[in-house]
């Protein structure tokens, strides 16, 4: 499943609510997922925490980033995403 952030979350892609919605999409996917950040800059720890870092609360033993690829993400957003995942104990591969 490919999720294009600019399309799927055109009105809101920085809030905790939008992040929670993305997390629910990711947990419903039975196979691999691609989250495409083309043409957007998030710069929101709240969004990344809700969308990705809290996946560890859904299933602490699942290697989430073996099934989820993050593409076309701005360099600063990528660093922020890594930071919030580490804070929750979720390792990015």
Q: Please classify residue 79 by burial: count the beta carbons closer than 10 Å to its beta carbon, then call 0-12 exposed, 13-18 middle and 19+ buried.
A: exposed
* 6 pLDDT higher than 90: yes
Q: State residue 43's pLDDT score.
A: 83
Percent of the chain exceeding pLDDT 70 equals 99
pTM for this predicted structure: 0.88
Cβ atoms 5, 36 nearer than 8 A: yes
Q: pLDDT category, 61, cuts 50, 70, 90?
A: confident
DSSP character at residue 57? H
* 93 pLDDT higher than 70: no
């Amino acid at each position: 499943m490919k999720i294009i952030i600019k399309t799927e979350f055109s009105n809101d892609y920085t809030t905790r609510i939008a992040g929670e919605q993305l997390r629910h999409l990711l947990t419903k996917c039975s196979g691999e997922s691609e989250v495409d950040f083309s043409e957007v800059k998030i710069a929101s720890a709240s969004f990344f925490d809700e969308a990705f870092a809290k996946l560890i609360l859904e299933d602490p033993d699942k290697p989430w980033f073996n099934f989820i690829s993050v593409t076309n993400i701005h360099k600063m957003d990528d660093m922020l995403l890594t930071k919030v995942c580490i804070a929750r104990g979720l390792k990015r591969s």
